[in-house]
Amino acid sequence: MARGCPALVLAAGASKRLGHPKALVEVGTTTLVGLAVRRLLAAGCEPVVVVTRQSLQFDVMTQALNATVIVNPDPEAGRTGSVQRGLLALMGDKGRTPRKVIIAPVDRPGWSTEHAVQLMQHEVTANLSCGGKKGHPLLLHDPDIERILAANPTTPLRDLIRPQACDVNAPHLSLNIDTPHDLEMLAAVQHALLDG
């Protein structure tokens, strides 16, 4: 099993359509952010850094056990800015740019610990895929990490990288927690997600 690959959990979104913070949505006895951190640690990711917004910092810290929680002071600039903040935190922790890193958006919980392990086996930038549909998490490799660090934080990640597909059996990979209706879908499959 791959060990020592650092990971970022992105949890700085405003959750405007959902109406309350996605990171703190309950899944069984945990939350979306707690579930993501637990899976990444179980997959051997180290360290795990959660990037959130100032207003959520304390609540996220209580859920993201054994992870480092940092704040993106300008989360409205976009997801790339949160990735940059997380990468800079990892550079401070390691003293160098990581060679590879997993990026897991908190609102895309349809993957498992085993899927993260499979993703870490890739030697190029890749993301999970099931049935021809790409999903998350994403594994970044150099030189894509350098490209993201050098980019304007408002540039969408899709304009910066071209990940290869890491095909897995993940029937809930497309689950995206964005609206109240998505919470119903989450409730319907939460037992399967918690078993992964």
> Residue 155 maps to which CATH number?
3.90.550.10
In a domain, 156, yes or no: yes
Instruction: Please say if the pLDDT value at position 20 is more than 80.
Output: yes
Mean pLDDT across 78-101: 89
In a domain, 152, yes or no: yes
- pLDDT tens-place string over residues 164-174: 999 999 999 99
Phi, psi angle pair for 166, to nearest 5°: -110, 100
- pLDDT tens-place string over residues 104-157: 999 999 999 999 999 999 999 999 999 999 999 999 999 999 999 999 999 999
In a domain, 1, yes or no: no
Domain tally, the chain:
1
- Predicted local distance difference test score (pLDDT) of residue 196: 61
Omega before 47 within 30 of 0, i.e. cis: yes
In a domain, 12, yes or no: yes
Burial state string for 32-53 with b = 16 or more CB within 10 A and e = fewer than 16 = bbbbbbbbbbebbbebbbbbbb
Percent of the chain with pLDDT over 70: 96
Instruction: Please say if the pLDDT value at position 102 is more than 80.
Output: yes
- Retrieve residue 104's tokens: 């897991």
In a domain, 21, yes or no: yes
Omega before 21 within 30 of 0, i.e. cis: no
- Retrieve residue 96's tokens: 């160098």
Mean pLDDT across 16-37: 91
Question: In whole angstroms, what is the distance from residue 113 CA to residue 121 CA?
Answer: 13
Question: In whole angstroms, what is the distance from residue 133 CA to residue 31 CA?
Answer: 25
DSSP 77: G
Task: Provide, for the chain, the percentages of residues in helix, strand and coil under a 3-state DSSP scheme, each rounded to the nearest 5.
Answer: 40, 20, 40
Instruction: Please say if the pLDDT value at position 41 is more than 50.
Output: yes
Tell me which range, 48-52, 90-94, 154-158, 185-189, is most confidently predicted by mean pLDDT.
48-52
Measured distance between the N- and C-terminal CA atoms of the chain, rounded to whole angstroms: 17
Percent of the chain with pLDDT over 90: 79
In a domain, 181, yes or no: yes
In a domain, 2, yes or no: no
- Predicted local distance difference test score (pLDDT) of residue 62: 93
Q: Enter the pTM of the model.
A: 0.94
In a domain, 79, yes or no: yes
Domain that holds residue 177: 7-195
